[in-house]
Amino acid sequence: MRSTVNRRQFVKTVGLGALAGAGLGAVGARAVGTAQSDVKADKSKLARLLPGCCAYSYDKDLRHGPMTLEDFILKAVDLRLVGVDMTAYYLKSTDPDYLHGLRHLGYKHALAFSGAACGVSMVQADAAKRADSLNEIKKWVDVTDQLGASHLRIFAGKLPDGASMKDAVDWVVESMKAACDYSGPKGITLGVEDHEGLTQSADLCLEIMQRVNSPYAGINLDITNFIATPTQDAYAQIAACIPYATNIHIRDHFYDHTPVDMDRVWQIFAQAGHQGFVSAEYESSSPGSLPPATGVPKLVDEIQALCKKYSSV
C-alpha cells in the first residue's frame, strides 16, 4: 500500500493543471493538491502492474459448480497470472483448515493472493445495523488474514430511502475508520470499491479517503463503474482516484456498456507510477459477452500485454 507521501509525490509530478484539463471536478482537484508542473512520469516510482484475476470472473461456475476455488487457483496458474483476488462469496467455509489449504495451494504454485473481497456495505441508517456491518467486516479481515492476503474489498452501499447523502457519507467514514483501526494492526488494507450506489463518483470516493485518513484505507478501483458527470468523464475519475488505488479491477466495458479504451487507462496507471495488481473481473452477463471459458482468457491476454507494455516488471 502506498503511503500518503507517495500520493503527494504523484500530485506534484502530474500537477493540478493536467488533472483539471482531464475533467477533474472541484472536490477531486482539491484532493490532489495545488502543485503546478509539467506532465511527466515520476522516474523515482516506476509502475509495477501485475496481472491478476478476480474469482468473480467465474461467478456462475463457482456459485453453482462445477468450479471450486481450488480449480480457480489452478486455472490462474494455467493463465500465467501473478495473483488472484479471492472473492469470499465462493468460500466453502471460514474454517481455518480450509482457508490454510487454499493458502498452501497458492504457495505451492507461486501464486499470490492479491486480496479478498466481501460484500459488506457500510451505509446503514440504523446504528445497530452499522455495528453489525462493522462486525462483519472484522470477520472478513480475519478471514483475509488466514488466507495470507493483505487487502480486503468492501462496499459503501446504496443510499437508503429517506437518507441524505451527507448522512450516508458520515456513516461510511465512521465505519471505515473503525474497520481500519481493526485491520491496520494485522497489516491489512481496506479498499472501498467505486461501485453502484454511493461511490460511483470520484468526488465522493476522495472525500471518504480524506476523512478516513488512514494508511490502511484506499479505493478498490473498478475502472468501469464511474458515472460521467458534466465535468468528469470516467477516465478523469480514474485519474483522480489512482493515488488511492489499492487493487484495480478490469472489465472491457463501462457501466453503460460502452467499450473501454484500455491503452488509455494503462497510460493513466503508468503516469501515476501505480504499483499493484490489475485484475480481470470478467462480466459474462453483459450483452454480447462470451462464456467465461473463452472470455476470461481473452481479457487476461489483453491485461498481460498492457502490463508488459507499461510496467517496469
CB 181 within 8 A of CB 188: no
> Could you tell me where the DSSP H helices lie in the chain?
4-14, 16-21, 26-31, 59-64, 69-78, 96-108, 127-147, 165-183, 202-212, 234-241, 262-272, 292-310
Nearest to 210 by CA among 34, 27, 81: 27
**Closest among 110, 115, 77, 70 to 218, alpha carbons compared:** 115
Per-residue pLDDT of the chain (313 residues; tens, 9 = 90+): 433 334 434 333 333 333 333 333 333 333 333 222 332 344 447 999 999 999 999 999 999 989 999 999 999 999 999 999 999 999 999 999 999 999 999 999 999 999 999 999 999 999 999 999 999 999 999 999 999 999 999 999 998 888 999 999 999 999 999 999 999 999 999 999 999 889 999 999 999 999 999 999 999 999 999 998 899 999 999 999 999 999 999 999 988 889 999 999 999 999 999 999 999 999 877 777 899 999 999 999 999 999 999 998 7
Phi, psi for 82 (deg, rounded to 5): -90, -35
Report how far residue 199's alpha carbon sits from residue 221's, in angstroms, rounded to the nearest whole number. Answer: 11
pLDDT tens-digit map of 268-302: 999 999 999 999 999 877 777 899 999 999 999 99
Quickly count: other Cβ atoms within 10 Å of residue 191's Cβ: 24
- Domains of the chain and CATH, by start: 46-310 (3.20.20.150)
pTM comes to 0.85
